[in-house]
Amino acid sequence: MNRIKIAFFDAKDYDKNSFIKANENIDYEIDYFDTRLTKDTVRLAEGHDVVCVFVNDDVDKDVIDALVEMNVKLVALRCAGYNNVDVEYAYEKIHIVRVPAYSPYAVAEHAMALLLTSIRRIHKAYIRTRDFNFSLSGLTGFDLHGKTVGIVGTGKIGRIFIDICRGFGMNVIAYDKFPAKDSDIKYVTLDEIWEQSDIISFHCPLTDENRHMVNEESIARMKKGVVLINTSRGGLIDTESLVEGIKQRKIGAACLDVYEEESNIFFHDYSNHIVDDDTLARLISMPNVIVSSHQAFLTEEALSNIADTTLENVKEFFENEYSVNEVCYKCPKVEDCKQLHNGKCF
């Protein structure tokens, strides 16, 4: 067959470096575009067999229709989550593949890094000492040992974060709609997570069912001074409710690697511009909030795994007529999905 052509959207230097290396022995023709994939940029995909996208690219109905019209055969996600893809509308129109696990250690370790930085005021100490200010005033933190941490989502990342927390001597409770079988994880209800946890960390995909699971009502049930960590998807937290909870001193700290309105902001340099997002500006201005720009995945190991798996997904799809990592909207509905991942979804 002809050489496979890939339109690579939202490309950053670290993406290019890892994919160029991974492509050395495969030799696909990859065109890298800095812009995100949207209905306004989708025409850049014309003449390509595959579009490769990340978390903030839009693969909605309009984009899917345009891709199908241009005879694009495959959407290759270089991430695990696919809430930015209308997978139900894509069914029987265009195939979707993803990278289910690139480095769960990277994300789990970043979550703990955010937590430690926040509660031990390391970010504040760093700024002070660079000005030769060695005062300890205002830097008092608290021990993690003996604290109760609630884990929402016990997939690979969640379970690794549990192991890290246990290493600190923390009491771990967890909630998952589909609990891990034959595990020693102590599962509780979501209400018990809100009510019992000193720290809550989110490691679940974003769905219509759990969007804004952290809201005014759930925050009211939480312990005063609770610390929230989100390295999953921004839409899990209602940002306005989060801001209000912090202002009311209900939420003691927030450690955020994701933000529900991040798509036009994260991964870009706005240091010389005014960001037109008052809510994000308020969050960043708060002394007990740490925001990192969706970088939890960003390790050399993860980038290498993402590139290798993404290109392997493309190779499987075109050479073997299927990919084990194909996404089907029926997959979560076990009773509806007949896919054994040994053939194309449709």
Which residues belong to the active site? 233, 262, 294
Q: How far apart are CA 70 and CA 89, in angstroms?
A: 17
Instruction: Tell me the pairing of strands 251-256 and 226-230.
Output: parallel
44: which DSSP letter? G
Q: Which residues contact 180 (CB under 8 A, 6 or more apart)?
A: 154, 159
CA nearest neighbour of 232 among 67, 119, 81: 81
Q: How far apart are CA 57 and CA 263, in angstroms?
A: 8
Angle at which helix 104-119 crosses helix 300-320, to 10 degrees, equals 150
CA nearest neighbour of 54 among 79, 28, 89, 22: 79
Q: How far apart are CA 105 and CA 176, in angstroms?
A: 19
